[in-house]
Amino acid sequence: MGSRLPHPVDVRKAVSSFYCGKIESTDTTLVKQYLLSTISNLKGADFSVEYLEGKQSKTGLHYLYRQNYQGKPVYRGTIKINLDKTGNIISLFDNTYHILETPSGEFPNTDDCYDIIKSIYKEENDIVKILIEDLYFDLGPRLIPASRIELWDKGGNFFELIIDAEQMIVYERDMNDYFNNNRVHDVDTPALARVFNPDPLTTAEVSYGTPYEDASDADISQLNMQRQQVTIDVVFENDTFKLESPYCLITEHSIPVVTPVTSLTPAFEFTRSQDGFEDVNAFYHINVYHDYVQQLGFDNIVDYPIWVDTHAMGGADNSNFSSAGGVPKLSFGEGGVDDAEDADVIIHEYGHAISHSAAPNTNDGIERTALDEAIGDYFAASYSKSINSYNWQKVFSWDGHNPFWNGRVVESDKHYPEDLQNNLYKDAELWSSTMMQIMDDIGRERTDEILIEALYSFSLQMSMTDAANLVIAADVSLNGGGYVAPIRYWMCMRGFIPCDVGIDENGISNFNVLNSYGFATRDEQAVIQFNSPQSGTIQLTDVMGRIIFSESFSGSSEYKISPKNLSSGIYLTKVTTQNFSSSYKLMKW
């Protein structure tokens, strides 16, 4: 994922709107009708909308729809709409495409797609699952008819290719999907276990170096002494205790083949050189974290037994989350320090599973994917810090920050947007560092509750600014905006959102504001009048910086704002166009 130039479909930004209307009902069919009648890119007989996913959070409903053109999907042409329980639109992310005429050219034929697959795989039985569909794909300057091939192979690879009619691969990427795979266990038995909590360097309060070194997974006594005794709930089946719970299954799904450890007694106490140690370590931390999220009040987050292989990825020094074939799974490599010996790696990967649970099929786009990495880093670092704050700013304290790799930090002074590098791992530091600052200010449980509630509203192609506004909106929904002030402070210090709330209006020669007195006193509309037709966005915020609404306009010479439903106070109107960005204060008496 290094320095290659991002593809236009990854750079594209969804148009976001906040507090932008109300729908009579939260019924998905009525919401669909609403989208067809209000989204300009969906107008006309050639367009239809397909409902893809729905999730319910603590305060609202979150639906993902897909744009179809002449019955075929438009790649990533989506709308994510987030409603409160009465149908108020809290936020909407429009990533649909404007199509004036049918994109020219033919769809690739299926035989060509199979030729491409055959050129990648010599052995047909290396493939587990293939999916081929026709769609319209954005090449940047124009849309083309294309085929999308989704492939899952026995090596655990899961990726998609976009093919044009000339059999050229015009786009490819790793991908994940989501499916609910419930498997119910009814027998839980407590067992004793030994784990690193969160890792041996943090508990010993030392840095990497002799004798605190990997030494090829050897039983160094100083490292083994850092193991802590804990109790885990396991399953007892056919005279055997197994590392299985309703939310985690230790499995063998990725080479090398290492059978999950079992025990004839309720005891799973291993030293770090034993394969069972990593199984127990991952099992323990995943269950603890799942219980924590559930106790925050979220009962549909990773509500299935996730598969976990702690000796995976052919020995690579890497780990991943994948839901290829509809089976969500975590795979931990053993290169360098075994990844599953470090709770930071375990919780980071589990963070991807949490995100996929709350907002499935939305992890597309450069800033959006960086946000997913950042949220995993933040979950890992905040979990670690809650156990032991030694070197809290280092993520992957044991797996990284050593000769094998550098690890990452959650204490960065990078500023948005000028420090973005279009590298999802480096850019992740902006968001994860900000979340740590907010957590230090308002507490971990409160921060996590707000962040997870916001996660349900995440969309494809969204920006970090959008994410900041979603976090603020989540606090308004959950707590009536009780923590908006500290959240806004850190978000604006980082550059995610403007800090100009409450400043005097400046440079408003670009537009006139008419009838501000009627707006203040008589419930009449104020009129923003431009010198020439403009396209851009208008945003109304209260003194706390909470967004009252945010809407786009195009080619307009004026814009009307109604004071209806506003309580008394000062409101900041911010107008942003290609030509200028100005603010104006409106009063409501």
Binding interface with Zn ion (CB under 5 A): 373, 376
| 473 neighbors 59 (Cβ within 8 angstroms) | no
Q: Shortest gap between Cβ of 136 and Zn ion (angstroms)?
A: 30
Determine the length of the chain: 589
Question: Considering beta carbons, is residue 138 or 373 the nearer one to Zn ion?
Answer: 373
Minimum Å gap between C-beta 458 and Zn ion is 15
Cβ atoms 544, 554 nearer than 8 A: no
Interior CA angle at 21 toward 18 and 24, to 5°? 135
Stated as kind and residue range, the H or E segment containing 308 is strand 306-309
Longest dimension (CA), the chain: 81
Considering just the CA atoms, what is the radius of gyration of the chain in Å? 26
CB 427 → Zn ion: shortest distance, Å? 13
Q: Containing H/E element for 128?
A: strand 127-138
**Nearest distance in Å: CB 398, Zn ion:** 17
Q: Retrieve residue 304's tokens.
A: 């299935």
User: Is the CB of 77 or the CB of 365 nearer to Zn ion?
Assistant: 365
Q: How far is the CB of 254 from Zn ion (least distance, A)?
A: 16
The CB-of-575 to Zn ion minimum distance in angstroms stands at 38
Q: Which residue type sits at 384? A: S
Q: CB 425 → Zn ion: shortest distance, Å? A: 8
Q: 481 near 546, Cβ under 8 Å? A: yes
Closer Cβ to Zn ion, 199 or 373, answer by number: 373
* Cβ 373 to Zn ion shortest distance, Å: 5
Least Å from the CB of residue 355 to Zn ion: 10
Cα-based distances in Å from 466 to 15, 21, 188, 442, 457? 10, 18, 42, 21, 10
Could you identify the residue written with the tokens 């002074």? 413
Count CA atoms within 13 Å of residue 33 on its CB side: 8
Helix (H, G, I), strand (E, B) or coil at 366: helix
Nearer to Zn ion, 20 or 330 (CB): 330
Nearer to Zn ion, 156 or 376 (CB): 376
Cβ nearer to Zn ion, comparing 322 with 437: 322
In whole angstroms, the minimum distance from the beta carbon of 399 to Zn ion comes to 13
Instruction: DSSP for 569-587, please give it.
Output: EEEEEEEEESS-EEEEEEE
Q: Which is nearer to Zn ion, 243 or 428 (CB)?
A: 428
CB nearer to Zn ion: give 338 or 372.
Answer: 372
Residue 25, SS3? coil
Nearer to Zn ion, 99 or 313 (CB): 313
Of residues 305, 254, 313, 266, the one with CA closest to residue 283: 305
CB nearer to Zn ion: give 339 or 373: 373
Tokens standing for residue 262: 């079992």
Residue in the shown chain whose Cβ atom is closest to Zn ion? 373
3-state secondary structure 43-82: CCCCEEEEEEEEEECCCEEEEEEEEEECCEEEEEEEEEEE
How far is Cα 74 from Cα 138, in angstroms, rounded to an integer? Answer: 8
